């Protein structure tokens, strides 16, 4: 079966370097918030053109602590898409805030600025722009709304490491950018990890305190924080993989170009790219009105296609009926019925790409 993602292939590419780095950490004896975390924080922030980086335990925590650093909590509303990883919404509720849903743009699957405007209210404090599948949400319009209303703009970059918008890296444009290093992401650890970038020194300082019990000095809390630390083993691995992030994203782009060429003229709706930036293809997402039959056909032909995401958050049991905006999300619901993600990872062999194309093209024949 050709897998949809393949984090082990990434490990094997860098095996000698990673193995050595892991042993160095083991020998060195400092396992939490040490020199590798500090090094990775500054290298990652610098790579994005952002001033500050704060390593945390996951992408979910990055969002949660970014919101809290902004002083957003109980009673405050945060506008976000429902067509996203459930983590986006879970993080808003972890901060004690109230998520509000706005529908997506059907071409790019990202939150639609006009729908955001319709959901604004006196309690709105922030917008979470999820850069889904590897390219930017409509950032210029979202920034304009945030600016005119005095709202925070938080970027969920868990699927868009390294992507550009108007020549700038995603994550460095809003007030804070939140990243996940879950193993299958464009920059993946060998476990969980996350990071917040921001250009604002005061927000950075609050994030830094919040991730470790609010400690300003050891054992003395100035804020009521949490435990959300990045460990040295993960940071050591991420430093190695960061060096090839752009090259790896380029290889994802080459896979996408092969799919585009091979699937041209097929009944699938292929992914559209925004002219304003780059697409780093965390997923290659197409849509089909016979999606479920197509996935079954692909499976029978040795190709794993997944659905990101099969149930929009507002229709999941844990959230259904209790979040404002959840009754008017037709494009989110249509996307959940029609999208499928084809195998996508930098090391995907050319022969396998051809097999994927052939399998899609033989559907219904």
Ligand X SMILES: *Cc1c(COP(=O)(O)O)cnc(C)c1O
Within 324-353, which residues bind ligand X (CB under 6 A)? none
Site string for ligand X, 106-135 (x = CB under 6 A): ------------------------x-----
- Tell me: does residue 182 bind ligand X (CB under 6 A): yes
CB 284 within 8 A of CB 2: no
Looking from the CA of 129 toward its CB, the CA atoms found within 13 Å total 32
**Cross-strand bridge partners of residue 83:** none
The residue whose Cβ lies closest to ligand X is 59
CB 208 within 8 A of CB 221: no
For residue 94, whether the previous peptide bond is cis, meaning omega lies within 30 degrees of 0, is no
CB of 283 to ligand X, least distance (A): 9
Name the one range near ligand X by CB under 6 A: 30-38, 154-162, 270-278, 310-318: 154-162
End-to-end alpha carbon distance in the chain: 21
CB 102 within 8 A of CB 112: yes
Q: Which is nearer to ligand X, 108 or 363 (CB)?
A: 108
Nearest to 130 by CA among 23, 283, 14: 283
Among residues 50, 143, 180, 332, which is the contact residue for ligand X, using CB under 6 A? Answer: 180
Q: Which is nearer to ligand X, 56 or 295 (CB)?
A: 56
- Tell me: does residue 271 bind ligand X (CB under 6 A): no
At residue 98, φ and ψ (nearest 5 deg) are -115, 115
Total residues at the site for ligand X (CB under 6 A)? 15
Within 45-64, which residues bind ligand X (CB under 6 A)? 58-60
Q: Which is nearer to ligand X, 59 or 199 (CB)?
A: 59
Distance CA 40, CA 168 (A): 20
Within 65-104, which residues bind ligand X (CB under 6 A)? 84-85, 87-88
Q: Which residues bind ligand X (CB under 6 A)?
A: 58-60, 84-85, 87-88, 130, 156, 158-159, 180, 182, 192, 194
């Amino acid at each position: 079966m050709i897998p949809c993602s393949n984090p082990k292939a990434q490990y094997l590419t860098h095996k000698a370097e990673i193995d050595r780095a892991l042993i160095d950490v083991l020998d060195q004896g400092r396992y939490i918030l040490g020199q590798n975390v500090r090094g990775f924080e500054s290298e990652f922030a610098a790579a994005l053109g952002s001033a500050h980086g704060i390593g945390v335990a996951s992408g979910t925590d990055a969002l949660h602590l970014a919101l809290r650093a902004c002083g957003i909590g109980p009673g405050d509303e945060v506008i976000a898409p429902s067509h996203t990883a459930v983590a986006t919404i879970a993080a808003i509720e972890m901060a004690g805030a109230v998520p509000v849903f706005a529908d997506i743009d059907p071409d790019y699957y990202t939150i639609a600025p006009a729908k955001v405007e319709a959901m604004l209210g006196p309690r709105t404090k922030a917008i979470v722009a999820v850069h889904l599948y590897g390219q930017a949400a409509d950032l210029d319009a979202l920034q304009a709304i945030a600016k005119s209303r005095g709202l925070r703009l938080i970027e969920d970059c868990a699927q868009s490491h390294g992507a550009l918008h108007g020549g700038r890296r995603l994550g460095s444009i809003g007030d804070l950018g939140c990243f996940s290093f879950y193993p299958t992401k464009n920059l993946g650890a060998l476990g969980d990890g996350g990071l917040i970038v921001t250009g604002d020194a005061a927000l950075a300082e609050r994030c830094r305190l919040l991730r470790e019990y609010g400690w300003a000095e050891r054992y003395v809390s100035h804020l009521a924080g949490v435990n959300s630390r990045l460990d040295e083993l993960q940071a050591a691995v991420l430093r190695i993989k960061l060096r090839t992030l752009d090259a790896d994203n380029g290889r994802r782009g080459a896979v996408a170009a092969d799919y585009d060429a091979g699937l041209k003229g097929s009944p699938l709706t292929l992914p559209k790219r925004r002219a304003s930036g780059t697409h780093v293809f965390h997923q290659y997402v197409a849509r089909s009105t016979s999606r479920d039959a197509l996935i079954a056909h692909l499976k029978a032909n040795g190709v794993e296609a997944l659905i990101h995401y099969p149930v929009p958050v507002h229709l999941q049991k844990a959230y259904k009926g209790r979040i404002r905006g959840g009754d008017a999300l037709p494009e989110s619901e249509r996307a959940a019925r029609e999208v499928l993600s084809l195998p996508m990872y930098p090391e995907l062999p050319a022969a396998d790409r051809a097999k994927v194309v052939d399998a899609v093209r033989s559907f219904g024949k």
